[in-house]
Amino acid sequence: MKKITAISLFIFQFMLMLIFAVSTVFALSVPLAQQTVQASTDGSLDRAAIAIAAGLAVGLTGLGAAKAIAASGTAAISALAEKPETFFRSFLVVALAEAIAIYGLIVAILLWISL
């Protein structure tokens, strides 16, 4: 049961990272498309697309990190209760799950700066 949960968690995180990559490429390609074809609009739709991509980057990475921390945190505490010497390994797994949210925040900041 735990192996299926770990595999589904990995697939969920991979899909989230794929969504962030696609939204980042989309948001960064919008200004390039605007430079090649001069549109009659003022560019407010481009800014809106970048803002939506930044929001998705933060929101979805937050959800992915929360799911990962919930799964790995409970397992880490259980392992720590049985074997106290596994503290560093347990802490490392939870910290790696938190890094997903930090990556999303960095992507969102980079997108927001491009506005």
CATH at 86: 1.20.20
Q: In terms of pTM, does the model score above 0.85?
A: no
Per DSSP, the three-state class of 7 is helix
Look over the chain and give the mean of its residue pLDDT values, rounded to a whole number.
77
Using CA atoms, how far apart are residues 5 and 96, in angstroms rounded to an integer? Answer: 17
pLDDT at position 40 is 47
User: Which pLDDT tens digit goes with each residue over 10-65?
Assistant: 677 777 777 766 676 666 666 655 555 555 455 677 778 888 888 888 888 888 88
Mean pLDDT of 79-96: 87
Contact between 65 and 100 under an 8 Å Cβ cutoff? The reply is yes
pLDDT level of residue 1 (50, 70, 90 thresholds): low
The number of folded domains in the chain is: 1
Domain that holds residue 84: 2-33+42-113
